[in-house]
Copies of this chain bind each other. A is one copy, B any other.
Amino acid sequence: MAGFRYEALEAHLRQKIQTGRFKAGEKLPSVRTLCQQHTLSKATVIHALQRLETEQLVYAIPKSGYFVTQPSVHRHRPEKVSTPSLPTQVNVPELFRDIMSRSAAFDILPTEGGAPASKHLQTLNRMISRAARSQPEQKANYYDEPSGQQGLRQAIVELYRQRDTALDADNLCITAGCQHALFLALMATCQMGDTVAVESPAFYGVLQQIEQMGLDVIEISSDPTTGIDLNELEEKTKRYPIKACVVTPNFNTPTGSKMSTNDMKQLVSIAKTNSFYIIEDDIYGELRFRNELCAPLKAFDHDQRVILCGSFSKCLSRELRIGWISGGHLQQKIIQLKLITQLASPRATQQGLTEFITTGHFKRYISQQRQLLKNQRDEWLNEISANWGDLVRFSRPNGGLSCWVELPSHIDTQQSYKALIQEGIVLTPGALFSAQSLYKNHMRLSFSQPLTEHRRTALHLLFNTLLSAS
C-alpha cells in the first residue's frame, strides 16, 4: 500500500544518513533540489525534513539549510567507575529555593543579563503605566473582581481561538502566573493523601507543590520527543487511585517533548474512562517554532476533565505575574481558591496587557520571539553537538525554552552544582525533575538567552566540570 509521498522521501533520506552516505555535519541537498529530484511540492519536502528534524537525524540552520546531526550515541563513553556514596550536598527543596533565587536557571550565567529589551516590551510597560494612571483612586480603594478583568479574559480566549480551541471567558480566571494556576488546580482536585500522576521527568514546581500539599506522586515515563507514555499511564491507573494527572503536552520542561494529536485525544479518553482530572500546563504553548497550531489538550476535552493552566511569564515577561486557569465545572471552586490565596489581581497590569494583545503587539512580539528562540536553540545545540556530541545525548525541541541533556551514567550533575555556583554558573540538575531521585546524570539546559562569548565559555566550563567528575 502506497504511503504518503513525504514518507518515501523521509525513508530515502533516513537510509542515506544511517548508512553514512550523508555524513555527520554534512549539508543535505536544498529544498529546491529535493523538489526537483523527487518531483515533490515544497510543502511535502519540508514536511519530510521536519519529521527527520523531530527524530533528530537532521537539524536546521536558518537561511542555510538542513544538516546531518552528530550521532547521539556514546561512542567514547567513559567507563563506569564506582563512586563512593557521597552525601548529597544540597537537598531538592533547598536546590529549588536556590535555583529560584537565581532566577529559575533559564540562564547558565545570570550575571550576563538579558538580551537588550525589545521595543515591544517597552510598549507593554507604557501601556501598563497609562492604565495605572487612569482612575488611581478606584484602583486604590476597590479590589478587582475575583476572576480578573473581562477584557483580558476575552483576549486570552482569542489567543486560544487561533489555536483551534474554544474557551469561554466566563470560565477563565486570571491568576498570579502559571505556578499559582497549577496550585489552584491541585487544590481544586486533590486532598492530602491523594495520588497525582506526573510525567517523568516533570516540572520541579509541580513536584514541590505535590510534596508540600501532602499528596502522593506517581511518575510516568515520558519520551523526550513525544511525551508521556500512555500505556504506562493506563497500566498505572489500574494499580493506583489517580485523582489527577499533570501534563505539559506542548513543550514540556525539561525535555521540550510534544505530544501528538492522537496521543492527546487518547489521554483525554483515558482520563474520562478512569475518572481523573488532567491538569494541563500550557505555559509554553505560544513558544512554538514551527508552523503548527499546537492546540492544547483542552481542545479535545468534551467531558470537562481538563483544567487548563497558562501564563504570560515565559512568552512575554516574568514580571507580569499574570496567568490563567480554566477549569470547567470546577470553576466556582477555583475562583473561591483564588480568593482565599490572594483575593484579587492588579488591574493596571491586566488592562495594559489587554491593550498590548488587542492592538496586535503581542502577535508581532511572539512571532519575533519564536524565530529568535529557534535560532538560539540551534546555536546552543550545535555547540554541544560539536564539542561533546560523542559523550552526551540531548533533545531538540520544536518549542519552549530548554532541552534535556543526558550525560554518561556515572556522572551526578547535582554534585557539581555548588562548585559551578562558585564560578557564577547555574546548572539545573536532573534530580530536580523527579521525586524518586531519577536523572542523576541529566540536566536541563535553556536556550532562552543568546550564546554570547561569556556564555560559551561558561558552557565549556560547565561541561568540562561535569565530564571530568569521577
Q: Name A's B-contacting residues (CB within 8 A).
A: 93, 96-97, 100-101, 103-104, 106-107, 110, 113-118, 121-122, 125, 128-129, 132-133, 135-146, 176-177, 179-180, 183, 187, 191-192, 205, 208-209, 212, 214, 316-321, 332, 335-337, 339-349, 448-449
> Cβ of A191: which chain B residues have Cβ within 8 Å of it?
192, 214
> Cβ of A208: which chain B residues have Cβ within 8 Å of it?
336, 339-340
Which listed residue (B93, B100, B137, B346) contacts A320, Cβ 8 A?
B346
Q: A114-B140, A141-B318, A205-B339 are in contact. List 20 more A-B contacts (CB 8 A).
A: A100-B146, A101-B146, A107-B142, A115-B137, A122-B133, A122-B136, A129-B129, A139-B319, A144-B319, A176-B321, A177-B343, A179-B339, A183-B340, A187-B212, A191-B192, A191-B214, A209-B340, A319-B347, A321-B345, A342-B342
A139 and B335 within 8 A (CB):
no
B141 and A106 within 8 A (CB):
yes
Bound-state Cα–Cα, A100 to B143, Å: 7
> Cβ of A343: which chain B residues have Cβ within 8 Å of it?
100, 104, 177, 179, 205
Which listed residue (B106, B117, B145) contacts A101, Cβ 8 A?
B145
> Cβ of A110: which chain B residues have Cβ within 8 Å of it?
142
Bound-state Cα–Cα, A346 to B107, Å: 19
Given contacts A208-B340, A214-B191, A347-B319, contact A104 B143 (CB under 8 A): yes
Bound-state Cα–Cα, A100 to B259, Å: 39
> Cβ of A316: which chain B residues have Cβ within 8 Å of it?
140
B187 and A214 within 8 A (CB):
no
> Cβ of A192: which chain B residues have Cβ within 8 Å of it?
191-192, 214
A178 nearest CB neighbor, chain B only: B343
18 A-B pairs in the complex with CB atoms less than 8 angstroms apart: A96-B336, A107-B141, A113-B138, A114-B137, A117-B136, A122-B133, A122-B136, A125-B136, A140-B316, A140-B317, A140-B318, A140-B319, A141-B448, A141-B449, A180-B341, A187-B212, A205-B343, A320-B346
A128 and B132 within 8 A (CB):
yes
A352 nearest CB neighbor, chain B only: B132
Nearest CB of chain B from residue A183's CB, rounded to whole Å? 5
B129 and A114 within 8 A (CB):
no
Which listed residue (B106, B132, B342) contacts A177, Cβ 8 A?
B342
Given contacts A341-B179, A342-B180, contact A318 B214 (CB under 8 A): no
> Cβ of A180: which chain B residues have Cβ within 8 Å of it?
341-342
> Cβ of A116: which chain B residues have Cβ within 8 Å of it?
137
Bound-state Cα–Cα, A135 to B318, Å: 13
Bound-state Cα–Cα, A339 to B343, Å: 18
Nearest CB of chain B from residue A96's CB, rounded to whole Å? 7
Q: Which of A212, A320, A347 has the most CB of B within 10 A?
A: A212
Given contacts A96-B339, A116-B137, A212-B337, contact A132 B143 (CB under 8 A): no
Nearest CB of chain B from residue A321's CB, rounded to whole Å? 5
A140 nearest CB neighbor, chain B only: B317
Given contacts A340-B208, A346-B319, A348-B319, contact A121 B146 (CB under 8 A): no
- When A and B form their complex, which 4 residue pairs have the shortest distance between CB atoms, in order from nearest? A103-B142, A114-B137, A129-B129, A114-B141
Given contacts A125-B136, A137-B115, contact A143 B340 (CB under 8 A): no
Given contacts A122-B136, A137-B121, contact A318 B335 (CB under 8 A): no
Bound-state Cα–Cα, A136 to B146, Å: 28
Bound-state Cα–Cα, A208 to B320, Å: 27
B133 and A114 within 8 A (CB):
no
B114 and A336 within 8 A (CB):
no
A132 and B129 within 8 A (CB):
yes
Q: Which of A113, A116, A132, A347 has the most CB of B within 10 A?
A: A132
Bound-state Cα–Cα, A212 to B121, Å: 38
Bound-state Cα–Cα, A208 to B317, Å: 32
A342 and B321 within 8 A (CB):
yes
> Cβ of A448: which chain B residues have Cβ within 8 Å of it?
141
B340 and A212 within 8 A (CB):
yes
A113 and B129 within 8 A (CB):
no
Bound-state Cα–Cα, A116 to B135, Å: 9
Which listed residue (B179, B214, B336, B348) contacts A212, Cβ 8 A?
B336
